[in-house]
Amino acid sequence: MLNTAQKTEASGAEQELTDGFHLVIDALKLNGIETIYNVPGIPITDLGRMAQAAGIRVLSFRHEQNAGYAAAIAGFLTKKPGVCLTVSAPGFLNGLTALAHATTNCFPMILISGSSEREIVDLQQGDYEEMDQLAIAKPLCKAAYRVLHAQDIGIGLARAIRAAVSGRPGGVYLDLPAKLFAQVINAEAGAKSLVKVIDAAPAQIPSPAAVKRALDVLKAAKRPLIILGKGAAYAQADDAIKTLVEKSGIPFLPMSMAKGLLPDTHPQCAGAARSTVLKDSDVVMLIGARLNWLLSHGKGKTWGEAPKKFIQVDIEPREMDSNVEIVAPLVGDIGSCVTALIEAMGSGGTTAPADWVDAVKAKREENVAKMAPRLMNNKSPMDYHGALGALRTIIKERPDAILVNEGANTLDLARGVIDMYQPRKRLDVGTWGVMGIGMGSAIAAAIETGKPVLAVEGDSAFGFSGMEVETICRYNLPICIVIFNNDGIYRGTDVNSAGADPATTVFVKGARYDKMMEAFGGVGVNATSPDELKRAVNAAMDSGKPTLINAVIDPAAGSESGRIGNLNPQSVLKKK
């Protein structure tokens, strides 16, 4: 602990003192928090400086939202809360979207924001950056706390950590008013007030009856399907999940961020037969996946006419029956639940009838064969498939690289084309389909894993966090950004029929995003063909130098909203 020895006037005796700054830092270190993603300013500038001096890695971003997205994905990758530190009101609000995103996606994250004087804020007397931050954060996160006294810092942080990682993980807000940092207390009392959180995310063992119920339903299935969601990736129960899937012989469908838990090229993978398995399966076991919009809420055309039975493995009991009836709820942590299922299966194992397995395989092979020739075209300007064909090979050759992906067409087509081979290597827009996660995710992925990162970005998507290329250069991170530049959102060809302004979805034609990277000392490349793109990405991955490749995509190649155009409301009164 960094203490100052001072003489207290009252007693005349010398005593060691500490303050709020040091207590926050000591509490973070005590709990193994090694990285803070932040934007400095009043009242937390010194906190960042002092944390850095004390050995915490403090990464400064250009905008709090990107620091927040970095913290959120750090939580997903590590199972420890990712910490984002911001200034008061505007900085806090900038970080809040990421906190809400973390909560929505079940990622553990703590947003720590400095705040203004409580007495002035509550009387609304116009303090510097006045805002009742705690009240605003509450509905957007799993838990929110404020610490007013230095001796409560240890407890405050312990509560935040537990809330973030236990049960269903999520975002937690911790409000630290400016006055707290300067509060001085006796160093020994301060040290004693700190709390090391023990067993922050306790195992949650499923009941044997629930395990048996789930297994009975699974065994009776004629056309079973396992859906793996990002909760399964988060759980880090990779071996148990692999064993369950392989022992059962059941086809599995990975949700976007669960790709790679088992390789997409695994013989049981049904990713390339998605429509078929959703429609034709009779029993579906969800493991760490919710029946939300991404799975059409478990009903309707996507799921076909035949009756379905759902088994759901999830840590959150209230997730059960949220959209349709769950005939076999299996509540517990995924590691414990999957292990219990494997044990209960005994040596027998398999529950997947051969005709079903063969039907899925045939559909998969048909779709893969249909796609193959499209991936080999070397057109210039590129279409999505030509460009993605090149990137697919790169990830195949470098399976431990992390792929960050956002956009509309750039997202939806990359998800299908680029096979993943290892768990937690695909990071994307998540449950909200939010644009702007790109650079924060790429930076945190590089920092937390030390692996090379390939960020495949729509030109619009990149714009939400583009200024962080400076951050990437400043920390010299092994990140290669590929911008699919089609001059706009979805397509670059829209025309405004009523005036001189550009259409709402188009950008400057022929923009050169690669120059942005060069401005900060990184490598910029303009690639106009799949061959050029492949060469440039390989060079970037070999060198580890921050690189941005402007991949020129035919502006007419994309479709409105990628693969979710059906969600666009249509006006019957629309005039051309």
Residues that bind ligand OXT (CB under 6 A): 256, 271-276, 294, 367-368, 371, 407-412, 415-416, 429, 433-436, 458-461, 484, 486, 489-490, 558, 561-564
Would you say 433 and 257 are in contact if contact means Cβ atoms under 8 Å apart? Answer: no
Q: Nearer Cβ to ligand OXT, position 56 or 371?
A: 371
Q: Should residue 241 be labelled a site residue for ligand ADP when binding is judged by CB under 6 A? A: no
Check residue 1 for interaction with ligand ADP (CB under 6 A): no
Which position among 37, 69, 145, 234 is part of the footprint of ligand ADP (CB under 6 A)?
A: 234
What is the residue-wise DSSP string for 221-273?
-SSEEEEE-HHHHHTT-HHHHHHHHHHHT--EEE-GGGTTSS-TTSTTB-GGG
Angle between helices 384-397 and 409-417 (to 10 degrees): 50
411 interacts with, out of Mg ion, ligand ADP, ligand OXT, none, CB within 5 to 8 A per kind: ligand OXT
Residue 290: contacted member of Mg ion, ligand OXT, ligand ADP, none (CB under 5 to 8 Å, by partner type): ligand ADP
Q: Which stretch binds ligand ADP (CB under 6 A): 253-261, 343-351, 356-364, 545-553?
A: 253-261
User: Which residue is at the shortest CB distance from ligand ADP?
Assistant: 231
Q: Could you write out the DSSP letters of every residue in 116-176?
A: --HHHHHTT---TT---HHHHHGGGSSEEEE--SGGGHHHHHHHHHHHHHSSS--EEEEEE
Tokens of residue 387, six digits: 């460009």
User: Which residues sit opposite 17 in a β-bridge?
Assistant: 4, 186
- Closest CB 2 distance from ligand ADP, rounded Å: 36
Which of 386, 407 has the CB closer to ligand ADP? 407
Contact flag: residue 294 with ligand ADP (CB under 6 A): yes
Which residues have CB under 8 Å from 135's CB, separation 6+?
Answer: none
Residue 108 found at the interface with ligand ADP (CB under 6 A): no
Q: How far is the CB of 477 from ligand OXT (least distance, A)?
A: 22
Q: Residue 335: how many CB atoms within 10 A of its CB?
A: 18
Indicate which single residue of 224, 288, 466, 492 sits in contact with ligand ADP (rule: CB under 6 A).
288
| Residue 358: count of CB within 10 angstroms of its CB | 10
Q: Is the dihedral of CA 69, 70, 74, 77 positive or negative?
A: positive
Residue number with the shortest CB distance to ligand OXT? Answer: 458
Site string for ligand ADP, 53-92 (x = CB under 6 A): ----------------------------------------
Rounded CA separation 174/176 (Å): 6
For position 271 contacting ligand ADP by CB under 6 A, the verdict is no
Q: What burial class does residue 11 get, using C-beta atoms within 10 Å of its C-beta: 0-12 exposed, 13-18 middle, 19+ buried?
A: exposed
Instruction: Evaluate the CA torsion angle 567, 572, 575, 576 in order and state its sign.
Output: positive
Q: Is 30 exposed, middle or buried (0-12, 13-18, 19+ CB in 10 A)?
A: middle
Nearer to ligand ADP, 203 or 376 (CB): 203
Q: Find which of Mg ion, ligand OXT, ligand ADP, none residue 133 binds, CB within 5 to 8 Å per kind.
A: none
103 binds, options ligand OXT, Mg ion, ligand ADP, none, Cβ within 5 to 8 A by partner type: none
Eight-class DSSP state of 478: -
- In terms of CB distance, is 251 or 458 closer to Mg ion? 458
* Among positions 257, 382, 447, 527, the unique one binding ligand ADP when judged by CB under 6 A: 257
Q: Which residue, 234, 225, 284, 295, is CA-closest to 261?
A: 234
Q: Applying CB under 6 A, which residues contact ligand ADP?
A: 105-106, 168-169, 229-231, 234-235, 255, 257-258, 288-290, 292, 294, 314-316, 319, 333-334, 431
